[in-house]
Structure 1
């Protein structure tokens, strides 16, 4: 059995510039824990999930990186890049600022067993399905489990 036989061809998606409030409303109204992010050309450029939208306790602590001031100079003990990433996520207004870019995807021809392996190994609940780079559907952990129990 292939992913094409079980995928949702009418999956709810969002565009890269979608405001976070709209993403939250779509997720709530459709009872979805995540949405593929699809650009105008139909390419899946990311995925946004509930975990992307929630700042962990560590990420919520936006303190300046630890540093030492010695003899008029500053020695940074933490990466500025990590601080900048936390700050961007905390201040995000649009989905493209918060999504996971370049998500793991499968093709319609991927076997259901292979999709299940990817879902298990990657720890994902949903995988965008792409054909020739374009988004064509979504397959979830539940879709895979149901298909495997039917076989």
Structure 2
């Protein structure tokens, strides 16, 4: 079965949409995510997990102290990135950029493999740079088990 046969209509949001509006849209539509489009081009995806991320506890970095030296045990940009995402008020701050996509002829087993291996919630279906739809876990399950 090919993606075009079971993809669902893509929810499209702009990067400057507020996080509150995004949450309201996803709840109203019962969707796990949306495609972020700017100037007609897919620039990212945003999911319910990105919204849940905003509620998590901040992970403080670990340090190793030896004599008078302090050595960070994690990349210093990780904390900044995490804080930016938690404090984000616009979709742009939450979205995952450079999304993994599939074409309309991609098979269901290829899609399942990508979703599992890459931990993907939604998978945009793109052709010629245009978003045609998206694959959700629910759409994939329905396609596979309704054969």
1:60, 1:86 within 8 Å by CA — same for their partners in 2?
no
1:113, 1:148 within 8 Å by CA — same for their partners in 2?
no
Aligned to 2:72: 77
Aligned to 1:22: 21
The equivalent position to 1:51 in structure 2, one of 49, 52, 64, is: 49
CA-CA distance at 1:110 after TM superposition: 0.9
Aligned to 1:6: 6
TM value normalised by structure 2: 0.83
CA-CA distance at 1:75 after TM superposition: 3.5
Unaligned runs of 5+ in 2: none
CA-CA distance at 1:89 after TM superposition: 1.1
Distance 1:86 1:124 in 2: 19
Distance 1:33 1:22 in 2: 14
Distance 2:145 2:52 in 1: 33
Distance 2:13 2:63 in 1: 37
Larger radius of gyration: 1
TM value normalised by structure 1: 0.81
* 1:94-133 superposed Cα distances (whole Å, 9 cap, x missing partner): 1111111112110001122221222232232321101122
Distance 2:118 2:49 in 1: 15
Moved over 4 A (4+): 62-71
CA RMSD of aligned residues (A): 2.5
Distance 1:56 1:12 in 2: 21
2:54, 2:87 within 8 Å by CA — same for their partners in 1?
no
